[in-house]
């Protein structure tokens, strides 16, 4: 009985399938490589995003720390403004001619109050609190609060003609706006003067 040579030798049968198996193995490796590359790219993207988030967090934290240092005294400074205002009122309550005629004790008291006010303002300034005294400056609604508008021939329209109350800033923020009067420009001529003027 003769046997079929193909069925007789199992190595011959395996040899015929070898190129197909090699192609399948290569396709499997390519798929595995593509999967690993996609995983690598995904991890790289996540790493870059995490680094960017950490950098943003670092910057935000630095900014918050700087703001905390700058504005930590805000409430205390706001409370101290009343004392500063009272010292100024005390100084202004004594007219200059009365001060000249006053005895030594009153002059000494006046100098003491003046010195106390100066020291308080220097201390506030050392902690970032600055005065806003905008007389003859352009009206700025971010820094000033207009109390009235009145004609003023000496000051151009839109400029601060009177400071009712000094304002204060801490850092770049307004602690208290300056209360001001704004110039409406030169007063208008009387209507009667217009009627009598020749045309």
Tell me the whole-structure pTM to 2 decimals. Answer: 0.63
Q: What is the mean pLDDT of residues 44-53?
A: 95
Q: pLDDT tens, 85-108?
A: 999 999 999 888 888 888 999 999
Picking from 162, 167, 154, 168, the residue whose alpha carbon sits closest to that of residue 180 is 162
Provide the mean pLDDT of the chain. 86
Return all residues near 53 (Cβ < 8 A) that are at least 6 apart.
Answer: none
State whether the Cα torsion 90-92-96-97 is positive or negative.
negative
**Burial tier of 104 (Cβ tally within 10 Å: 0-12, 13-18, 19+):** exposed
Structure confidence at residue 17 as a pLDDT band (50, 70, 90): confident
Q: pLDDT tens, 155-199?
A: 899 999 999 999 999 988 999 999 999 999 877 765 444 445 554
Spacing of C-alpha 169 from chain mean position: 13
* Contact call for residues 81 and 168 (beta carbons, < 8 A): yes
Picking from 174, 97, 189, 98, the residue whose alpha carbon sits closest to that of residue 142 is 174
């Amino acid at each position: 009985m003769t046997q079929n040579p193909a069925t007789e030798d199992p190595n011959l049968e395996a040899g015929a399938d070898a190129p197909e198996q090699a192609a399948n193995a290569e396709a499997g490796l390519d798929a595995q490589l593509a999967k690993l590359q996609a995983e690598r790219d995904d991890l790289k993207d996540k790493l870059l995003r995490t680094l960017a988030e950490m950098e943003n967090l670092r910057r935000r934290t630095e900014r918050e720390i700087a703001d905390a240092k700058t504005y930590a005294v805000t409430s205390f400074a706001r409370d101290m403004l009343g004392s500063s205002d009272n010292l100024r009122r005390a100084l202004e309550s004594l007219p200059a001619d009365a001060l000249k005629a006053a005895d030594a004790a009153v002059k000494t008291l006046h100098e003491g109050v003046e010195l106390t006010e100066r020291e308080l303002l220097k201390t506030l300034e050392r902690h970032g609190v600055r005065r806003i005294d905008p007389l003859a400056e352009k009206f700025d609604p971010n820094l000033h609060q207009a109390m009235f508008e009145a004609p003023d021939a000496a000051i151009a329209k839109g400029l601060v003609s009177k400071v009712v109350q000094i304002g204060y800033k801490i850092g770049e923020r307004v602690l208290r706006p300056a209360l001001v009067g704004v110039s409406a420009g030169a007063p208008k001529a009387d209507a009667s003067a217009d009627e009598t003027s020749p045309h």
